[in-house]
Amino acid sequence: IRKWGCHFDGRDPAAFLERVGELRQAYGLTAPQLLQGLPELLKGDSLLWYRNYRDSWETWDEFERDFRRQFLPRRNAATLRREIMGRHQQSTEKFAQYVMVMMTLMRRAGGYSRDEQLEIIYENINPAYKHYIRIDDVHSIMQLQ
């Protein structure tokens, strides 16, 4: 874990949890091993928070639940959903960049099917593209790109 180069210093808690999950899977660590290695992953106030509450967690899921409560904004999922619905491709924004941002937001919010993701991305693309792309002709986000 020490060699991962992955640390949480208070910024972007969702990205931290996502990256730790990826590394856990890649290196075949169990949840108890990951829980034990947390001091290597946390810095600053998050490490102090960990030290104050570490006896409260018996499982990784318990830690993750409390971590989200502590470091993610209240009503994070609702805020993400509003951001997703209000996010439109800007006139100077490359399509691939727009899709990457939208997919990241939807993944972090959770609960979107592939069809819903495709529909939302299509609805919010630059209106000029809709003259050339019909939603009925597109069956995946990769095909849309």
pLDDT score at 133:
81
The whole-number pLDDT of residue 13 equals 94
pLDDT at 129: 83
Residue whose C-alpha is closest to residue 46's, from 24, 17, 18: 17
**Residue 115 and residue 141 in contact, taking contact as beta carbons nearer than 8 Å:** no
pLDDT at 44: 95
SS3 145: coil
Assess contact for 80 and 45: CB atoms under 8 A. no
- Residue 121 CB: number of other CB atoms within 10 A? 22
CA distance 57 to 55: 6
- Using DSSP's 3-state secondary structure scheme, residue 121 falls into helix
Token couple for 16: 């931290």
pLDDT of residue 82: 92
Spans of the chain below 70 pLDDT: none
Question: 52 φ, ψ to 5°?
Answer: -75, -25
- Domain-by-domain residue ranges, the chain? 13-71, 75-144
Q: Which residues contact 93 (CB under 8 A, 6 or more apart)?
A: 126
pTM, entire model: 0.70
Tokens read off for 52: 């104050």
pLDDT, tens only, 77-99: 788 899 999 999 998 999 999 99
Q: Which pLDDT does position 106 carry in this prediction?
A: 93
Is there a contact between 62 and 26 (Cβ–Cβ < 8 Å)?
A: no
